[in-house]
Amino acid sequence: MALIVQKFGGTSVASTDRIKNVAKRVARWKAQGHNIIVVPSAMSGETNRLIALAREISTTPDPRELDVIASTGEQVTIGLLALALKEEGLKAKSYTGPQVRVLTDSTYTKARILQIDDEKIRKDLDNGYVVVVAGFQGADENGNITTLGRGGSDTSAVALAAALTADECQIYTDVDGVYTTDPRVEPKARKLDTITFEEMLEMASLGSKVLQIRSVEFAGKYKVKLRVLSSFQEEGEGTLITVEEDKPMEQPIISGIAFNRDEAKLTILGVPDRPGIAYQLLGPIADANIDVDMIIQNVAKDETTDFSFTVNRGDYAKAMEILKATSEKLGARGVLGDDKICKVSAVGVGMRSHPGIASKVSAVGVGMRSHPGIASKMFNVLGQEGINIKMITTSEIKISVVVDEKYLELAVRVLHKAFDLDKAA
């Protein structure tokens, strides 16, 4: 008998019929003797509907009140799901985040979970209840209602699994697992049986929106066994997200090809090459609440340097305006921009066992073509297709390149093939 936390996303509970199906599924797990905690999201579309109501009243709604409004979506679902579980003949009881209680900080609309009181839940589990806990929400120390931000229900589920030392946290979603890349771009994409937390983090942040990043961090930190499964298929083991040491020996070096269409690139030319220059350039961007992704500073020549970075495409116009002002202030040679780019990344912890690959890339940049490794293979394959690489960054377990947006699908497919991802492991 295991203790399992099961999280069901918005599409899984989009209608009362789907909620009934979720209840049937939970009932089958319960019948196997497991203790179950279910964490549903709001019915799909509901959170957007609620936020739209708030925006009809205020273009910049007060975040405390926004959370009061938005948290009702999950509250409706927990009640409905508890009713559906009772219809299956189970004992069931629902709790909102504040009821549990899920204690968070006071950062409305993107609060962080500080602590979960497990007393009520444990007592109910001991008495044979399936416990339904609202995802996405909690309360701060003063009892104010908070929400965890988009996708926060994943984090709620993982945090509950950690607090109750559950045997597994199952994330039911509209895909049946994590794939080597997006099957809509490369039909030969394969479902992975396992992926490490770190790979998952890189995949998620790069656009494979299966799981909320924070929930993966949380699961990694608290060693929660996390599994991604399909809500709509009964069969299949999904993808298990593991710690690295659990990986089988024959694990391929590259686990997947991630990508992000939603990028734009900005370059400032000929800025003085002196300490503090990066802060002078990026400080005003951060102050405008614009997230910067890749950052590259070229080797200096004639005491000036060129500096490039990428932002979300939606922030491009704003970022460009700010950068132009900075350019004039610093007496830079000028500003360039391109919002028709995308980012493609090869991700895999296997890179770690090839010492020097990643570090060499970051040290010597594109000059490392001679290295018989991941990076050179990547650059070579793209070059053979005539795809020009505009920027490169690396981490310990990924290599990302920026290319013209029009090459996205082609780049993903050739890399998927080059790293043998279309073949069973």
- Pick 79 or 365: Cβ nearer its own copies: 79
- Per CB under 8 A, the list member of 35, 41, 47, 71 interacting with its own copies is 71
Counting contacts by CB under 8 A, is residue 1 touching its own copies? Answer: no
Report the alpha-carbon distance of residue 22 to residue 27 in Å, rounded: 9
DSSP secondary structure letters along 214-238 = HHHHHHHHTT--EEEEESS-SS---
Report the alpha-carbon distance of residue 375 to residue 253 in Å, rounded: 12
Counting contacts by CB under 8 A, is residue 53 touching its own copies? Answer: yes
Close Cβ partners of 414 (under 8 Å, ≥ 6 residues apart): 381, 382, 384, 385
Report the alpha-carbon distance of residue 308 to residue 316 in Å, rounded: 13
Query: Is 192 in contact with 178 (CB distance < 8 Å)?
Result: yes
Stretch that binds its own copies, among 2-10, 60-68, 228-236, 305-313 (CB under 8 A): 60-68
Report the alpha-carbon distance of residue 348 to residue 253 in Å, rounded: 6
Nearest to 279 by CA among 264, 297, 263, 261: 297
Question: Is the peptide bond preceding residue 18 cis, with omega within 30 degrees of 0?
Answer: no
- Pick 96 or 400: Cβ nearer its own copies: 96
Nearest to 118 by CA among 167, 154, 80, 162: 162
Minimum distance, C-beta of residue 78 to its own copies, in the bound complex (Å): 6
- Pick 49 or 369: Cβ nearer its own copies: 49
> Is residue 31 within a helix (H) or strand (E), and if so which, with residue range?
helix 16-31
Minimum distance, C-beta of residue 65 to its own copies, in the bound complex (Å): 4
Counting contacts by CB under 8 A, is residue 341 touching its own copies? Answer: no
Minimum distance, C-beta of residue 129 to its own copies, in the bound complex (Å): 12
- Per CB under 8 A, the list member of 11, 21, 44, 72 interacting with its own copies is 72
Counting contacts by CB under 8 A, is residue 58 touching its own copies? Answer: yes
Alpha helices for 257-315 (secondary structure H) = 277-287
Among positions 75-94, residues that touch its own copies (CB under 8 A) are 75-76, 78-80, 82-84, 86-87, 93-94
- Pick 147 or 393: Cβ nearer its own copies: 147
The residue count for binding its own copies (CB under 8 A) is: 37
Cα dihedral sign, 220-224-225-231: negative
Minimum distance, C-beta of residue 81 to its own copies, in the bound complex (Å): 9
- Pick 117 or 385: Cβ nearer its own copies: 117
Among positions 134-193, residues that touch its own copies (CB under 8 A) are 143-145
Counting contacts by CB under 8 A, is residue 99 touching its own copies? Answer: yes
Report the alpha-carbon distance of residue 217 to residue 198 in Å, rounded: 8
Minimum distance, C-beta of residue 204 to its own copies, in the bound complex (Å): 30
- Per CB under 8 A, the list member of 20, 122, 191, 352 interacting with its own copies is 20
Close Cβ partners of 49 (under 8 Å, ≥ 6 residues apart): none
Interface residues with its own copies (CB under 8 A) are 16, 19-20, 50, 53-54, 56-58, 61-62, 64-69, 71-72, 75-76, 78-80, 82-84, 86-87, 93-94, 96, 98-99, 143-145
